Structure 1
């Protein structure tokens, strides 16, 4: 698995998790403040699309996860 795929999987997981914890109709609802985490992940994805800077990507590269073949 490549760094890019792991970043997308983790971001998707965090968004779905925070939505399930923050939406009042969810059976796992905890607090509506979890929606701020959803907004944070979305904003981070947006800025990394423009700046090519992603903290998770940097950590995964340091752990030795392979990058996408070019």
Structure 2
């Protein structure tokens, strides 16, 4: 996927590192009623405007 496609799906990254412009970081926080707040992070890595790698503690399809 290109950067523009990722931005369309994921939105603008929360953290933009000026020293590493090929890395976008997203942080998601959720607090269900009466439960402790949970936080998940996802880092996306690009090479030549193409998404090459995803890392973090959030996995699509995993039960929350």
Q: Normalised by the shorter chain, which TM-score bucket? A: under 0.3
TM superposition score normalised by structure 1: 0.26
Larger Rg: 1
| Larger relative contact order, structure 1 or 2 (CA cutoff 8 Å, min sep 6) | 1
